[in-house]
Amino acid sequence: MSDSIERLYQAVIAARDLDPAGSRTARLFQRGPAKMAKKLAEEAIEVVIDAVSGKPDAVIRESADLLYNLTVLWASAGVKPQDVWSEMARRERLLGIAEKLPKTAVKLPKSTPEPAVRRRIVALENRLRKRQS
């Protein structure tokens, strides 16, 4: 998947300076980060609605739109896909693949040495226990 996102990112970068009359990407860049963020939020809501409605084909289509708009916003912000993958790898080293950073004010260092033992994936284990009960 990261190769697909990288290709999409490169296509977005290549299209940002095209004529906005003929390029959706160029039009988004012309309108700025606020418009990009609005489009991203709209697509995220559409994914959620389709998922809750049990429409997997629509979830797939809207997810593709969501990833496109996320990639456009990354490019606008100067964020490269590799920056995101690096952050995901750092979090996996700290928390395990199934978890995201806590919402508390806990500050994690930007670079953390590889722990000797990986933390168990507690979030998934708890869900499995609940289902088995």
Cβ–Cβ < 8 Å for 39, 69? yes
d(CA 88, CA 70): 16
CATH of the domain at 22: 1.10.287.1080
| pLDDT computed for residue 41 by the predictor | 97
Q: What is the pLDDT of residue 92?
A: 85
> Mean pLDDT of successive 10-residue segments in the chain (133 residues)?
89 96 96 97 97 97 97 97 92 76 62 50 48 50
pLDDT, position 124: 46
Domain carrying residue 36:
2-132
pLDDT for 116:
47
Question: How far is the C-alpha of 22 from the C-alpha of 11, rounded, in Å?
Answer: 15
pTM reported for the whole predicted model? 0.72
Number of domains the chain is built from: 1
